[in-house]
Structure 1
Amino acid sequence: MGVTGTNGKSTTTKFIQLSLLSKIQRTIACGNIGLPIGDVIKKTNDNDIFVVEASSFQLDKVDTLKFNISILLNISKDHIDWHGSFKNYKDSKIKIFSNQDKNCFSIICIDDNSCKKIALNFNKRFSSKLIKISTKQKIKDGIYLEYQKEGILIVNKLSNEKIFFDYNMIMFTKVKHNFENFLAAYAVNFLLKKNEKQFKNSLKKLFSLEHRLELVGNLKNIFFYNDSKATNIESSRNALNSFKNIYWILGGRKKLGGLDGIDSSLKNVEYAFSFGQAGKEFKEYLIKKGIKSVCFNKLESVLLAAVKKALKEKGNINIIFSPACSSFDQYKNFEQRGNKFKTLVNGIIKSAG
């Protein structure tokens, strides 16, 4: 099976792999998540299940690869500098469905307009069976979530089933945008005929991935979150929509459009601390939007400034490192950038006490 989307690919790939692990059948996560699919195939047998994280770059070159189950999570503007246009980027994403036949399944989350349009016209272009999922709306012929006081309810209109999950069972999700990844994992389990008990038992194995709103630690009234994987504006919007009392650390090498589209997600941001190549531009942008902001060149400097100011606050503060930029101005990749943030945070906590 293949998993693509602008955000959430790695988490969904891992959720699916862990939810399907068993003693009688191997489930292997590969592709963009780290293990090259070509290397993995050489060491496997016909009974193995492959969960392939597929990026737009990889899908752009797809000619014959066929997935039994394909998953499209979401589409927002990203990597336009490489693809040349948003249309080209979208076209590369939907190539995940191109070689499927009538015996295959395609899962599309219709929570954003681009994916909704793809689902609407799906049967005109592709041969596989479409399964629509949503975390935001009810679907008469699909699978959706309902949010309740004590937990979430998955409503499966394809099987006329309802499955309730207490929030204590799904602590690994932490933030709302992970429900999209969770719902996609459920849909795969449903298609593979795993029952409710099997799926619920598998939840004990699930966890959030590193650098994705990862709680690093806390110091007095401050909680530190590492979201270095947020290399685009949509990822950072998800982070900002998930917390209150936010000190936002952002910056790096900006993507096309910069912070355009962030306005509706700024209501919980108390202060912004920008750094790197885009630091000054981001500071000026956010000040115009009414957000108090400062700018430094290095991550070390913005983090120290944020901590110093947060310690003076009476209530709890969430310091969210969600850059909304690529890392390539100062770091090799988002992992190196995230590890640097965690090292700095752990050093601050250790020196304080």
Structure 2
Amino acid sequence: MSELPHLRGWDGPWAGLRVLVTGFGVTGFSAADTLAELGAQVVVVDGDETQKKNDDAATLTTMWGEYFKIRFGEAATGTIEHFRAGSGGGETPDLIVTSPGWRPDSPIMRQAAEAGIPVWSDIQLARRLGPRPGADGTATREPQWLVLTGTNGKTTTVTLLEAMLTADGRRAVACGNIGLPILDAVRDPAGYDALVVELSSFQLHYTEPLNPWAAAVLNIAEDHVDWHGGQAGYRADKAKIFEQTEIACIYNAEDAATEQMVAEADVVDGARAIGFTTGTPDVSMLGLVRSEDGSDILVDRAFLDNRRHQALELATRADFGELAPKHLVANALAAAALARAAGAAPESVRQAIRGYRPAEHRIQPVAHADDVLWINDTKATNPHAAAASLSSFTDVVWIAGGLSKGVDYDPLIKQVAPRLRHVILIGTDTSQLRSSLERHAPQVPVTSAGGGDDGVAAMRGAVETADQHAQPGQAVVLAPAAASMDQFASYMERGEAFIEAVTTLMQRKGFSAQ
């Protein structure tokens, strides 16, 4: 991609550039702040006006004055013409920097395509800029870019990778799609040895080749097909992460699509294809081997000289603690592959795994009473994530449903049907999931939680129903396989509603939640 090739580095010709920033959440704020600092003329548009956004706008207005303007509402997000003096604007921008999630078929993106105006993600802007020079004007160190994407497991993997690099004595930070905007990371005055960058398909759609040190794709499953116009578009955007990789392209040996992405990528000469697997690894892979005493050992057969005949121990499955499901081990192996590509020692990998604690809302134990385990995995917002969660347990009372995003539930139901003992449906439209259950798990009882648009009421009903049907030795698992926005503001709010309902149930029964 050669759009605006002259716009590189902090000393590039940014001054006076007219930039439209779409969205004013944490990403939009960081983009607007950075561009105004560079001397660009920045207009931000956002369809949703809130007090926080007004407060943030006031902050940037105070800092940057006439370099920054913001416009709220549907009229503002319906046009790219914002740059003539006076209300409403009338001229188009030179560049659009978009927050994740702005669809290619939205009015602004359609108009930009018709007018030939480049659209960048904040990731591309950060890569074009590089680390900000120090106060004395000297360049700060160039960090290794360690980037990853996938349908599921991204946050767990970047969290583990950050910990591995930190244990190795590096100054590293997880950023991108994980909370800290990448533009805040590249503007850090102390600089970093490594940027651990989580990338969504939305960000990759608007990003040119990143030339990373190492890149990984964890898995590919059906998700966001409505946004990308189909599975092929979704896969193509994910595959962009491998382009121009310098050292290692890391793929999931149990997901053929990720290996094919590496095979098709245009990489720097000498970059290696490195697989990870929860089975026995071949040469140039990381994986699991079984020791004589029956324990599982995470090993490296990629980043050692005698890899054809030896495997280097990194950690054991027991290092995770009591709960180490297959998908967590896979994520740890992917993180270890990236860490080893960056030069981290095996001891640093083990130290990070031993210190790992599961994030909230991802296979999170909430209570264990009457020999029934209650699990919150509200973050399982698509069938692939739900399959990983449900496969961690043998006998499951499943709480599922929500906004389906156009996915096909049949493969999931076929896979997990033998584990299901009862299914309780939440969500305003359960027809797709119910239909798949009727076709592929007709023996499994299905109950609707009710509640309509009231997600909290629906979750209370689901928990009460689960309590009536769960038997000793079973797990009640909230793994919705769907987004939350039909009944909740976010997947986190959905998880909190589950935790609150389970806690109330436990208190009434005389038990305590974990």
Same fold (TM over 0.5): yes
Mapped to 1, the partners of 2:280 and 2:258 lie a distance apart of 14
Alpha-carbon distance, 1:63 to partner: 2.1
Secondary structure of 1:261's aligned partner:
helix
Alpha-carbon distance, 1:66 to partner: 3.3
Deviates more, 1:79-88 or 1:207-216: 207-216
- Counterpart in 1 of 2:447? 294
- Counterpart in 2 of 1:35? 180
- Counterpart in 2 of 1:130? 273
- Residue deviations 1:7-32 (CA, integer Å, cap 9, x gap): 11010000101122149532111111
Deviates more, 1:217-226 or 1:288-297: 288-297
What code does the residue aligned with 1:40 have? Answer: A
Mapped to 2, the partners of 1:63 and 1:118 lie a distance apart of 16
- Counterpart in 1 of 2:394? 244
Alpha-carbon distance, 1:164 to partner: 6.3
What code does the residue aligned with 2:446 have? Answer: S
Does 2:506 correspond to 1:349? yes
Mapped to 1, the partners of 2:327 and 2:149 lie a distance apart of 15
What code does the residue aligned with 1:316 have? Answer: G
Deviates more, 1:111-120 or 1:34-43: 111-120
- Counterpart in 1 of 2:150? 5
- Counterpart in 2 of 1:340? 497
- Counterpart in 2 of 1:98? 243
Mapped to 2, the partners of 1:239 and 1:26 lie a distance apart of 33
Write out aligned runs for 1:219-298 (5 A): 219-262=369-412, 263-288=414-439, 289=441, 290-297=443-450, 298=458
TM-score (structure 1 length as normaliser): 0.91
Mapped to 2, the partners of 1:10 and 1:33 lie a distance apart of 6
- Residue deviations 1:284-331 (CA, integer Å, cap 9, x gap): 432442211111221221111011222xx3x32200000001101011
Mapped to 2, the partners of 1:283 and 1:146 lie a distance apart of 40
- Residue deviations 1:255-312 (CA, integer Å, cap 9, x gap): 32341202122211111111112334423432442211111221221111011222xx
Aligned residues: 346
Alpha-carbon distance, 1:156 to partner: 1.1
The structure showing larger relative contact order (alpha-carbon pairs under 8 Å, at least 6 residues apart) is 1
Does 2:264 correspond to 1:113? no
**Aligned match for 1:200, one of 315, 328, 350:** 350
Deviates more, 1:202-211 or 1:336-345: 202-211
Mapped to 1, the partners of 2:361 and 2:419 lie a distance apart of 21
Mapped to 1, the partners of 2:147 and 2:344 lie a distance apart of 19
Which of the two has higher C-alpha Rg? 2
Alpha-carbon distance, 1:104 to partner: 3.2
Does 2:260 correspond to 1:140? no
Alpha-carbon distance, 1:114 to partner: 1.1
What code does the residue aligned with 1:28 have? Answer: V
What code does the residue aligned with 1:32 have? Answer: N
Mapped to 1, the partners of 2:333 and 2:189 lie a distance apart of 28
Does 2:78 correspond to 1:78? no
- Counterpart in 1 of 2:127? none
Does 2:491 correspond to 1:325? no
Alpha-carbon distance, 1:147 to partner: 4.7
User: 1:254, 1:277 within 8 Å by CA — same for their partners in 2?
Assistant: no
What code does the residue aligned with 2:500 have? Answer: T
- Residue deviations 1:101-153 (CA, integer Å, cap 9, x gap): xx43221122112113223444xx33233222222453233222235532234
Alpha-carbon distance, 1:348 to partner: 1.2
Q: For residues 65 and 285 of structure 1, do their structure 2 counterparts lie closer, same or farther at Cα, with a shift above 3 Å needed? A: closer
Deviates more, 1:81-90 or 1:21-30: 21-30
Alpha-carbon distance, 1:234 to partner: 0.7
Secondary structure of 2:378's aligned partner:
coil
- Counterpart in 1 of 2:301? 156
**Aligned match for 2:160, one of 3, 9, 15:** 15
Secondary structure of 2:375's aligned partner:
strand
Mapped to 2, the partners of 1:34 and 1:66 lie a distance apart of 22
What code does the residue aligned with 1:320 have? Answer: V
Alpha-carbon distance, 1:219 to partner: 2.1
- Residue deviations 1:38-76 (CA, integer Å, cap 9, x gap): 122212434432111100000111125332121111111
User: 2:400, 2:480 within 8 Å by CA — same for their partners in 1?
Assistant: yes
Mapped to 2, the partners of 1:332 and 1:200 lie a distance apart of 37
Q: For residues 185 and 71 of structure 1, do their structure 2 counterparts lie closer, same or farther at Cα, with a shift above 3 Å needed? A: same
Any unmatched runs of 5+ in structure 2? 1-145, 451-457
Alpha-carbon distance, 1:230 to partner: 0.6
- Residue deviations 1:227-270 (CA, integer Å, cap 9, x gap): 11111111111112110111000011113234120212221111
Mapped to 2, the partners of 1:300 and 1:319 lie a distance apart of 14
User: 1:59, 1:92 within 8 Å by CA — same for their partners in 2?
Assistant: yes
User: 2:288, 2:299 within 8 Å by CA — same for their partners in 1?
Assistant: yes
Secondary structure of 2:411's aligned partner:
coil
